[in-house]
Every structure is written in C-alpha cells, then in structure tokens.
Amino acid sequence: MDFSSKLLKFSEFSQKISTACLRMIDSLSKPKLKVAIISYYYKKPIISGVGIHARNLAKYLTIHNCEVHVFCNSDKDELYGEDGAFIHGIGGILTPEMNSFSKKRLEYDIFESEVIKEIIRENSKKGFDIVHTHGALTKAAFIIKKVYNIKWIHTFHAIEKLRAKELSNEEKQFEDLISWIEHTVNYSDGSIFVSKELSEEGKKHYTLKSKMIIPNGVDFKLFNYQPMTNKNVLFIGRFSKEKGVDFLPKLIDSIMKIENATFTIVCPYNSLGGELKQIRGYISRLEKKYKNRLKIIDKPQDQEALKELYKNCQVYIQPSKYESFGLCILEAMATGRPVVALNVGGIPEVIGDAGFTVKNTEELIYKVKELLNNRKECVSVGRNANKRAKNFDWEIIAQKIIKYYKDVKNV
C-alpha cells in the first residue's frame, strides 16, 4: 500500500472516530430522560421473569444515558446505586399471620402505597419523564398519573385476568381483585406487549391510547453459546399451575425411563397450601425414588447459577399452560439448547423454527425422548436457537423502548 492510500485510510478512520465522539457529546449534552421503573420483584435472587426483565431494562437504560430509579420490594427501606441506577427498596412491610396468598395480596397493596410516597419525594427533586410499570402492580402509577400527570407506560408481561384462570383454587379467590387492579391500565399513556399474541388478547380486554409490541430481551454478555456435555433435561419456573407444575410428576416418571437421562427442576417453593402442597409432596417422593438422577432446586437462583444450569442440560422444556413470552426459553436458546414447549401464548413467536412446540404433555414427552437419544440433532437445533435468540439482544430491545418513551413523552 502506497503512502497516499495509507493517508486516505487514516483520514477515514479519524473521521469515524470524530463522528463517534460527536455523537457521544451530543448524547451527553441532551437532558437525560428520568424514568421510574416499578417492579415488586427486582432484588436478587429473583423468582420472576418480570424482575429479570426489570433488572436488564434498568441496566441498559443507564447505558443509554437515562436517569433510572427502580422502586422494588426489599427487606428494609433503602436507597443505593447499582449498575448506574438508583434502587429504592421498599421494606418494613408487616402483615398479620394469614394464609400465604392473602398475605401476599395485602403486601402488594401496602407496597404500592409506599411507592407513591417514594415517587412523590423523588419527583419533587426533579420531575420524572416516564413511570414504567411491570407486572400486576399498577395502582401506584395510576394515582401518580392522575395527580401529577406524569406519562405512564405499562408493559404487559401477561394479562392477569387470563393468567389467574390457570392458578390454583386458593389463588383464584383473588381473580376479581386482580382484574379490578389491572383495569387501571386503560388510563396509561402507552402500553408495551411482549408478544403479538398478547397484543391481540389485549385488544379484547382494554381500550389503550397507544401500544407497541416489544419482546423481552436476553443479555448476551451473560448467556452465550455453550457446547453440550450432559444428557440432562432442565425446567425452570415458579411453583405454580400456570407453569405446569402439576404435570411434573408424570414428566419425571417418563424421563427417568430414558437410559442415563437426568432431570433438573428449578421451582422456588414457599410452603404453600392446598393443591400446590399436594403436588410438592408427590415430587418429594419421586426425589427419594430416583435420588441423584432427579435434582429439585426449590430456592431462587441468580443469573450466574442459571447460566450453569442451561450449560449442563441437553434439552430445555416448558410445560406452561399460560405463557405470554417465556424468558427462560430465550435464555436456553441463547445458550444453544433445543427447547420443547407447549404451544401456548407467545411461545411460538419466541421459538420460531429453532425449537419445538407441541400440543400436549404426551407429545412433549415423545419429543424429549427423541432429542435425548439424538445428540447430533440437539446440537444442530441448538445452533439455530442461538442464532435466532440474537434477534432479542437487550441492546436492540433497550433502544426500541427508549424510542417509545420519547414518542409517548412528546405526544
């Protein structure tokens, strides 16, 4: 290469650096969007996909020059910084002894009352541009919207009135309360649905000013392709009927019949009563029967631990009866694992042609057996799954959400 060519190359490189610097200066000179994220579940370890979504959203919003305040449940009242965000922990919630489902509903209500006070205090320092709610707790944002006229966006990770129909009999007693609270989203300024299927359902139940379909994301800085080593099946989900835990005893017995197969189940369990207690009893007996081949993890696991669990499986399964998206499915795909799931909700949109959706548990068992006996197919499908998962990279998702914030704010 002659001197003039080198000089031209250097000039082009310098111009790219200058352009990048100018963009950075322009970004830093603009007023930061101040965003309040309300998510009951946020602190580690997290038992909720909504909480994981909220954590990643907060992290990536700060990367993109937003001032982020997260209002979440905590063991004590606290304010601290994490990944550039301000975390407002709402603690000290004392409720009388009662059954666990009633206790949780009362704690949710007290939590939202405390969130209102915290947001008012922070808003008096510098006004929020956006309040962004996640999950079923929308009352605080509704009141803040009405009183202070702050723009409110709600992400539908589920439609609670539909999800409630798949819960245990004990939980269903709050179905009317859940529907009543969720009705407040009709007053939001913007709505995000995590799947097309969920958006279509939303049209039937709510009258919304504005809506967007923006899926959940996966953090490729943590979840990336890993080679397969173990003949293991993995399932991760809350200990709830909507996640298909009542299918687990049948699934366990079937998978244990496959030579050398093992089964790992991550289902956080909190001494619940009624139907769920009975199901947990069945699973405990199977633990004793199959010993080391069946591993039940009933405590919440952080993302680093989940990364290792995905790495150590050959097939990931999702027997959910209700699933608007399926974050664990996406994390398994990013790791390069074939997924077998029931064909419900937004699951087909996530898996696409890089995994398997089935009609019932019988088909699920059949497909899992096929895959466990054909590692070559597992590797091939897993590579396609990893490639597809890159469409859901959090860097892409965060930029879409920020653009929507600005659109809603400027209306």
pTM (predicted TM-score): 0.84
Q: What is the pLDDT of residues 180-238, one digit of tens each?
A: 667 889 999 999 999 999 999 999 989 999 999 999 999 999 999 999 999 999 999 98
Distances (CA, A) of 135 to 72, 223, 261, 393, 405: 12, 24, 36, 21, 18
In the chain, where the domains are located = 31-217+393-409, 232-392
Q: What is the pLDDT of residues 78-90, one digit of tens each?
A: 999 999 999 999 9
pLDDT at 183: 82
- Tell me whether the CATH fold assigned to 31-217+393-409 matches the one assigned to 232-392: yes
Percent pLDDT > 90 in the chain is 67
d(CA 32, CA 396): 19
Distances (CA, A) of 56 to 4, 53, 222: 47, 5, 11
pLDDT at 389: 97
pLDDT at 105: 76
d(CA 258, CA 98): 43
| Stronger pLDDT, 121 or 165, i.e. the higher one | 121
pLDDT reading at 24 higher than 60: no
Rounded to 5°, the CA angle 211-212-214 comes to 145
- Class level of CATH domain 31-217+393-409: alpha beta
Mean pLDDT on 29-57: 87
Mean pLDDT on 87-109: 74
- Other Cβ atoms closer than 10 A to 373: 13
d(CA 286, CA 46): 26
Architecture per CATH, 232-392: 3-Layer(aba) Sandwich (3.40)
pLDDT band at 166 (very low <50, low <70, confident <90, very high): low
pLDDT at 48: 82
